[in-house]
Amino acid sequence: MNIASTQTWNWIWPHVGATPINQGLDSEMFDRTDYPYSETFVREAIQNSLDARLDPTKPVITNFTFHSEGIGPRRAFLEPVMAHRKKAELEIPEEWANGHVRWLVVEDFNSKGLSGSLTSRTSDFWNYWLNFGISNKDGSGRGGRGIGRVTFLIASRLQSVIGYTRRSADGTSAICGMSVLRAKEDGDDFLSTHAYLAEEISGNIYNLHSSPEFQMRTRSAFGFTGYDGEFTSGLGLAIPYPHKELVPDGILAAAIENFAPAIMSGTLQLNVDGRVLDACSIKEIALDVSERFNDEAIRNDVGRYLNLIQSALNGTEPHKIALARAHKGDLEALRTTAPVEAMRKRLASEKTVVLQVEFPLERKGKEANVSLRAVISTTPSGGKPIDRLFREGMSLPDVRSKNPGELDMLLLVSDGLLATYLNFCEGKAHLDLLESKDIRLKLEDNGFSRGPRAKRFIKALPTELRLLLTPDITVPDSHVFNSFFSKPTDKPGKKSPDDGIDPPPPPPKPPVFKVETLSDGLRIKANPAFTDWPVNVTIGLAYADGSRRPSWSPFDFKLDTLSIKHSDCDFTTEKNKVRVVNCGPEAEIAITGFDTNRELDTSIRPWKHAQTN
């Protein structure tokens, strides 16, 4: 059936009676200076997908796909939104007037979809679209506050989202959309703060557009993959005009920083604009996007971070500490025991310690032992300690030690009961474990009568474990102040190393490659002073635009149209990156054919040795 180009799909901007409203999206709780909004967006998107996992033997797959096209079939869906925004005196993107639409599609697969009755106001489905702050989650997932979805609205410059779900429970599809507007008087009536993509109001909910034609046109217009193949259920969200800070490399970095255990264990896989992030590719991608990590310690040495996680996930038998209760300070009583001394010696020899801490947790009058795993290693000299807690594969980055000293430490909670308990203790943005009257009541309502006692133990654990595994200093170091004060001596001649003078630092490692600038490109050659071959290297290319990380567009250049000559190595290309592997001592690669009127910005990153692939 053909539809005229003037066809639009109805968005309802409802009136409200004498009901209080809440203007705005509380965006400040998701956009802190220490945790940028783009990272929070990725955390919420992946968290929702993991919570809806369908088959536990297969990974949840989350796609982030960026689109940029003419308005075309999107007009039927977005033109009513623009009309409402104009009436609400809200901004309309300039691109719309120029006939252009950008949008981001987030989809998950091997997930249950957005379940719940389509006719009940308090079902999971309508809680998602209508009831902010209300959730039917029982704490067994990673969320439960019912407000994380606002991050998707904040992600859009239109503060709008269109959702398409195929539900595993009944096999049906449902489409709804939401747009945040501005409440205002409309004659004798008063318009609400939200408009919805729906056919009509039905009591306290909406009748949705449900014709096969509408569903087909929605999927086609926004590029929803659909759920008709291997995975028959899931949820997709189209975010029109996403903010410019949402970019593929940033999404990949946020996923690795916050969900690396889930990725490396095979629980989670991402497809970000055509690039697959999984257990096999995580190390290479992490090196490519390392500058975008928010945590300085991870940004400076992402390989060390991933190795710690791998140590925690390996099947090696961990050291065990069993506690009779979960009280802050209980670990100190173990300081002089032989197992703890053995762990200290292992750390002193620069080996990694994997530790399992067990303690009892009571729910509804029944006590059960729960556990978490810790992986600890000595921080390299001059490095910043890594300090992170993960609950069911997701990071709570504010649970860390105030004084991490010189030990790297990751804590991983995978136990169901303990993970559920901690979920009730988390703040709204799932960054920290909090203690408030609201949290106490929530714990009591869900059968945890002893309140936040275990939370205090977990929150203190990054500090307490470090104190436990740091040796007592019983003999003062006579040279501790040598770098601050000059100590006179009667000995003639030169001082020996025993006089407290530090030996000279080791010579710096030679660079792996030498770079030569050509008139229309570059050449990199193996450095004769470097001997530890073979090596791989990733070369990122873009025209300089004055920023630290200039963006690349296929309109700038395409690598398959340039001249690439190589020797003693193999290479592949993807977008604006050249990946060169198995480089030997005679390796050389030259890339030419760039615009000589523009300055070329180049990122050259050697990575893991080829024989370890």
Q: pLDDT value at position 549?
A: 74
* Tokens encoding 387: 């300090």
Report how far residue 126's alpha carbon sits from residue 130's, in angstroms, rounded to the nearest whole number.
5
**Amino acid found at 355:** L
CA distance 351 to 345: 9
Q: Is the pTM of this model over 0.75?
A: yes
**pLDDT score at 59:** 96
- Secondary element (H or E) of residue 170: none
Spatial contact of 139 and 420, defined as CB atoms under 8 Å apart: yes
Those residues with Cβ within 8 angstroms of residue 248's Cβ, 6 or more apart along the chain or in another chain: 64, 66, 272, 273, 275
Cβ within 8 Å of residue 17, ≥6 positions away: none
> Mean pLDDT, the chain, as a whole number?
87
Asked if 356 and 369 touch (Cβ cutoff 8 Å), the reply is no
Ranges of the chain with pLDDT below 70 = 1-6, 18-33, 133-148, 473-506, 546, 548, 608-613
pLDDT value of residue 395 = 95
**What pLDDT was estimated at residue 1?**
39
Strands (E) located in 379-435 = 387-391, 394-395, 407-413
Q: Name, in order, each residue with C-beta under 8 angstroms of 328's C-beta and a sequence gap of 6 or more.
A: 456, 457, 460, 464
Residue 146: per-residue pLDDT: 46
Is 331 buried (19+), middle (13-18) or exposed (0-12) by CB count in 10 A? buried
Dist. CA 193–CA 24, nearest whole Å: 8
- 370, amino acid identity: V
pLDDT at 291: 93
Number of Cβ within 10 Å of residue 33's Cβ equals 5
Contacts of 428 (CB under 8 A, 6+ apart): 29, 145, 147
What local confidence, expressed as pLDDT, does residue 26 receive? 56
The dihedral built from the CA positions of residue 493, 495, 496 and 498, taken in this order, carries a sign that is positive
